[in-house]
Structure formats: C-alpha cells, structure tokens
Chain A
Amino acid sequence: MEWIGLANYAVFMAIFICIYALLSLGLNIQWGFTGLFNAGIAGFFAVGAYTSAILTSPAVEGRIGGFDLPVPVGWIGAMLAAALIAWPIGKICLRFRSDYLAIATIGVAEIIRLVIKSEDWLTNSARGITDIPRPFGDLPYVYSQLAYLAIVAGVLLVAYLMVERQIAAPWGRMMRAIRDNEDAARAMGKDVPFRRLEAFIFGSALMGLGGALFAHFNRTITPEAIDPMIATFLVWIMLILGGSGNNRGAILGVAVVWIIWSMSEIVTDQLPHEYAVKAKYMRVFLIGLMLQLVLRFRPEGLLPEPQGTREEVSEKSK
C-alpha cells in the first residue's frame, strides 16, 4: 500500500514539476539567454490560466464566456493572450535596464492580479472560475493523474526541444551576444530592441501555457494561485538554483525546489505533537536555509551555463 501511495504522490509532484518547468523555461529565455529581468511571471501565468479557463469552461451567466471550446484551443489561446499582453509591456518597458524592468513588470503583474480579483464580468472576481475541463479527467484517480502527466510531460518535452533548437541556432548566439555586450551586438548591425522583444514575448507565451496547464489540472483557477510569492519569486529561485542559461538546469531547479518544499515538511513533522503548528513555520525556515545552502555551494546553479556554444567546444576538441 505504501508503495502505491508514494508512487501517486510522485506522479502528482511530477505534474507540478512539469508545469513549473514551463514557467522556468520561459524565464530562462528571458533572463538566462537575453538578460531581461522579468519579475511579473505571475501576471503572464494568470493571463494564460484565465484565458484558457474562459475559453474552455461552460457558459455562465454574469461573466464573459465560457465558450466551452476544446482544451487545445484554450491552451493555444492562453499562449496567444500572454504573448499579446507581453507585446505592449515589452514594447514600453524593455528599454528600461534590469532593475527598472523588474519593478515595472512587478507593477504590471500586480495590476493584472487586482483586475482579476475585482472584475466580476471578466473573471468572476475573488470566487474564480470553476468547471474547467481536464483532459481524461473522467478516468479513475490514478489513470487520470497518469494521463495528465503524460500530457504535461509531452508539452514540456516539445517546449524544451524547441527552446534548445532555437538556442543552439544562430538566433541563440545572437541573443547571448546581446546579453553579454549589447553595444558590440548593436555595432554588428543586430536589431537589439526587436530581438529582446522577441525573447520577451516567446518566454511570456510559455508562462501563459504553464498557467493554462495549471488551471486545467485543478479544474479551477482562483486569485490565490497568482500570488507573487508562489508564482513569481518561487520561479526565480528555481531558475537561479538550477542554473540560468541552461535549460536542463532550469528544469532541474524546479524539481529540486519542489523536493525541498516537500521534504522539509517530512523533517519538521518529526517534532513532538504539541509543536505541530509551529513546525509549519520551522518548515518555512528550513526552506529558506536550504536555499542558502544550495546558493552557498553552487552559486552558479546546479547545472551552470556551458561556456561557449557547442560548435566552439567541438572545434576546440578537434
């Protein structure tokens, strides 16, 4: 029995890891490869989640939609909506340098959160949207979990391969050139603002997709899910811990952070029963401490960015 329970929990965590890996990959395109400090992940996550929810849930009186469309339409819609929101933000904000961009994107994400929380006609405000269909959601628990895992893992794999291909292509080299020395890249005739905008939109679309997958997994989306701590800062920790500039690092970081998150509870639950509530605060302390330890011993991330591109490395080895 124990075995099956553990396996079930592992499946659940794997689904969560895949969903957050999409966010982390999106951020990696923006920060890891292009150097854009996007601190508004929660905003794009929210736009994606709510767009897909509105498109695919059944019609409800008093708010826009539900249009009851097939799930893949919702997911594509989520990516498009996140990209559409990212476009003007990027157009305006990308000319600010890092810290200003960070605070500008936090601001946009907070405004998005307040709109979602307050507008009945659009998002059903604080109550959120329910009845979002989940693919294969009618199967018994274990099978439906496995089916969803297969879907999110497939989506993640496609996203990963696409990003890897782009990064290995001349496009990726150009992006890193822009990140590392903007003036030199500009002198070489690269359209720097346009390229950065491209990366910003592409990354945001992935975050939107992550949001959509999250909403369909829970069959509901509520404003509590888009709190900056859980949807922005957590993703940053994952990327930096895993190794920014390295896609596998970005995914590994997600897995490590969720494992830390989960394991810390098992440790603090060993405390005597009368401390059961305080143990949860100790758990948060432990999470903070473990982050410090990883940063202490692997400040460049668990899987650091490879120095030089593949071609260069293989040429050197010749």
Chain B
Amino acid sequence: MGALEIINFYLVPGIVIGSIYALGAVGITLVFAILRYAHLAHGDLATLGAFLALGAVTLGGVSPYVALPVAMVLTAAAAVMIDKAFYAYLRERPKIVTVMASLGVALMVRAVVQVVWGVDSETYTRGIVRPDVWFGIRIRDRELITILAMIGLVLALHVFLQQSKWGKAMRAMSDNPDLALLSGVDNKKVVMLTWIIVGGLCAAAGVFLGLNYELKAMMGWTMLLPMFAAAILGGVGRVEGAVLGGLIVGIAEEMSTLFLPTEYKAATAFAILLLMLLVRPTGLLKGKVL
C-alpha cells in the first residue's frame, strides 16, 4: 500500500474527524477547568447546534457556512439558559450532583430535537461531493474548511484567553478559584462567558459533523465518549491538549483498521487513553489533577 493511499484513506479522514472531536473536547476541557465537572450534555448540545443550523438552512435558504454563526449564537444562548435553569443552584453542592443534572439535560435536549426535527437522517445539502485532488492528496472542500475552521476557532480562543481581561479572569478561575474570587473576579460573569464559549464550540462541532457526514438525533450522544477520551488524553484543562487529544483519537480510530478487526475501531480511543494514563497520569500536556 502506497504512502498516498495511507494519507488519503486513513490520515485525512482521521484528521477531519479528529478536528471535530477536538472542537468538542476543547469545550469539555473548559468546563472541566473552570466549572470542575464532567458535562454529559455536551454531545447533545452539539446535536442541538447542528439541527439549529439545519433550521437556518431550510427556513432561510442560506448555506451551512452562513448558518454556522447563527447556530453558534443560538446554542450559546441555550447553554447559558440551561446553566441558569439547571446547574446554577447546584454550584455549591458536590460536583457529582451537577454531573447527574447534565445527564438529565442531555435527555431533555435530545427529546426536544426529536420532537422538533424528527428522527430521520438529514443533510444540509442533497447529493454527494467528490473530493478534489491536490498533488495526489484527495480532500473535499468542506473537509479543508472543517480543519481550517477548527484551527481558527482554537487560535481565537487562545488569543482571547491569553490577551483579554475576561480571558485572564477565566484562566485565574481555572488555576485557583479562591484566589481569583478574592482578587475581585466576578464569578457569575466568568461562568456565563464559559457557557457562551462552550455553547458556540458545541454548535461548531455539531455543524461540521453534520456537514461532513449526516445529521441524526443521536449523533452527539455517540460522539460523547470519544470526545471525553480526547479531553482527558490531552490533559484536563489544557486547550492545546484537547486539540492534540482530538486529533490523536481521530487519527488512531481510522488507522486502527490497518491492524485491528474493524469492529474494534471504537475501542481504539480508549486503548490509547488507558496506555497513556499508565505512562503519564496527567495527560499528554500536564493537566491539572482536579
């Protein structure tokens, strides 16, 4: 098997699905770092984002790329509302209670999607898109856009966290909440800002998943475990780590078919994760031990 085949049929698909995992994992890692719990409704929030974009595409007749920012804003708003309605009053309680609440939210969000949009497989645009060939590398335009958009969004987030006042406040909350509160960081605003960012990232993950493959009511839930694996793999609380983790999980899944029976593809993410935890229990980039 030639190198080009490996790149075209194993590496490129791995990077594309890895980019989508990365978008989800960044959100998960942010919630871990700042709010300190595992957010199990993350996948279903991504489903909601994807279907909101579908709503914009079918009602407004716009292209999915135009629908993306719309879906990001709407999903961010939904995330903030969910936080206000179901998580806010549990903030002082043990974190496990909020984890359970997020599981309940996952069920509710999925039910809303199923009632509003039904349960059939959907696509943004009918038909198939054959890949373009660039120097032997086969890639579809939407795949290129997915990868570039992921890099762009993560870079923007990085700059925001490093440079802006609120980004610094978020980092302070993540490093040492007590100290941050003492030095006058507004907890409520940081939480809200976190949910806006997380909601937007969820929607992006969902839209790109729908754009490259199909939209299904269960699509987010089935992505949840690999996304969590990616976040932990990269090191909890590390944005760059989540990107790295997502790409590794995506590429490993696609590459695994070279060595393993294909029915074990889904196990690859976890096998890598377990190995990594044995060698580096804090994740690839040193994550914090929460």
Interface residues of A (CB under 8 A from B): 31, 37, 92-93, 95-100, 102-104, 106-108, 110-111, 114, 117-118, 228, 233, 236-237, 240-241, 244, 278, 281-285, 287-289, 291-292, 295-296, 299-300
Contacts and interface: CB of A to CB of B under 8 A. Distances in A.
A241 B100 contact: yes
Nearest to A117: B263
Given A99-B290, A295-B90, A281 B115 contact: yes
Contacts of A118: 261, 263-264
B100 A240 contact: yes
A281 B111 contact: yes
Interface of B: 32, 38, 40, 86, 89-90, 93, 96-97, 99-101, 103-108, 110-112, 114-115, 225, 228-229, 232, 236, 261, 263-264, 266-267, 269-271, 273-274, 277-278, 281, 289-290
A31 B115 CA distance: 36
Given A110-B270, A114-B263, A103 B100 contact: no
A299 B97 contact: yes
For the complex of A and B, 7 pairs with smallest distance between CB atoms: A107-B270, A285-B111, A288-B107, A288-B108, A291-B104, A281-B114, A288-B104
Contact of A233 (B97, B103, B114, B264): B103
A103 B115 CA distance: 31
A299 to B, nearest CB: 5
Nearest to A118: B263
Contacts of B110: 284
A114 B111 contact: no
A294 B107 CA distance: 15
A102 B95 CA distance: 14
Contact of B115 (A96, A100, A106, A278): A278
Nearest to A31: B96
Contacts, number: 116
A300 B270 CA distance: 32
B128 to A, nearest CB: 30
B277 A295 contact: no
B274 A291 contact: no
A236 B103 CA distance: 10
Nearest to A291: B104
B107 A287 contact: yes
B266 A114 contact: yes
B107 A284 contact: yes
A160 B228 CA distance: 34
A108 B274 CA distance: 8
22 contacts: A37-B96, A95-B281, A99-B38, A99-B232, A104-B274, A107-B269, A108-B274, A111-B267, A114-B267, A117-B263, A236-B100, A237-B100, A278-B114, A282-B111, A288-B104, A288-B107, A288-B111, A289-B104, A291-B100, A295-B104, A299-B90, A299-B97
A102 B89 CA distance: 24
Contacts of A111: 267, 270-271
A260 B13 CA distance: 43
Given A285-B107, A300-B93, 19 more contacts: A99-B32, A100-B232, A100-B281, A104-B277, A106-B228, A107-B229, A107-B274, A111-B267, A114-B263, A233-B103, A236-B103, A282-B111, A282-B115, A284-B110, A288-B104, A288-B105, A292-B108, A295-B101, A299-B93
A97 B36 CA distance: 13
